[in-house]
Amino acid sequence: MSMTCSVSGMTIPRDRFPAPPHDLEPKGEGLQKAVLAGGCFWCVEAVFLTLNGVQRVTSGYAGGDAQTANYDAVCTGQTGHAEAVEVEYDPAVISYGELLRVFFSVAHDPTQLNRQGNDRGPQYRSAVFYETPEQRRVAEDYIRQIDQAGIFADPVVTSLEPLRDFYAAEEYHQNFAGKHPRQPYIMAVAEPKLKKVREVYPDRLKTV
C-alpha cells in the first residue's frame, strides 16, 4: 500500500510531497529548537512527539508579549500570539527540513488562513517562527518549492515570523493528547493526524 499525506480530506502521495531542497543542520552536536504554529497546539504537539530524534515538545504561545501569554487572553485573538509548539530535536537524527516536511504535509493544513478547521482566529494561524536567517531561508525556500510543485489546490499561507520569545503554556496543556486520548476533540482532530503520521512516515517514528 502506498504511503500518502492527507490534509483536509485531500490525499497526497508521499512521493509527490517534496523533500526539503536543503536541510538546516542535518548533522551536528547538541539539541536544536524549532517553533511552529499550526492550529491547536494539542494536536501539533502530538504529531511531533512521535518522531525519532525529537527529545521534547512544549505547547505554548509565540508572537505576542509576556503579559498576554496565557490561554484566556490568547483565545480572544487580540494578543498577537499563536498557539505554537517548541520542538527540541537532535539534528544528527532528524533535520530541521524534515521537521518542516512533517509540519506541512501532516501536522496541519498550511493553506488555511487564520484558522484550522473549525478553530478560527489569528491565534490558530499557520506560522514558522524563525530564530536565525538560516531557519528563515530553509522555510522560505521550502514553501516556494511546495507551491511550485502544485501540491495543494490553494497556495501556502504560512507566515514567517521572527521569534521574539516562546512562552510555555499552562501545565494542563502539556502532552494533552497523550494524557486524554479519549477526549472528544482529541479523538476528532488529533487522532487522525497521528494516524497519518504513522502511515506516511513509519521510518521516522520512535521505536519505543
Please give the radius of gyration of the chain, using alpha carbons only, rounded to the nearest integer: 16
Q: What is the DSSP annotation of 57-112? A: EEEEEESS-GGG-SHHHHTTT-SS-EEEEEEEE-TTTS-HHHHHHHIIIII--TT-
Helix 191-200 to helix 41-49 angle (10° resolution) is 30
Render pLDDT for 25-75 as a digit per residue (tens, 0 to 9). 556 678 999 999 999 999 999 999 999 999 999 999 999 999 999 999 999
Residue type, 164: R
User: Residues with catalytic annotation?
Assistant: 40
Q: Which CATH architecture has domain 4-199?
A: 2-Layer Sandwich (3.30)
- What is the residue extent of each domain of the chain? 4-199
Q: What is the pTM of this model?
A: 0.92
Render pLDDT for 125-148 as a digit per residue (tens, 0 to 9). 999 999 999 999 999 999 999 999
Mean pLDDT of the 173-193 span:
97
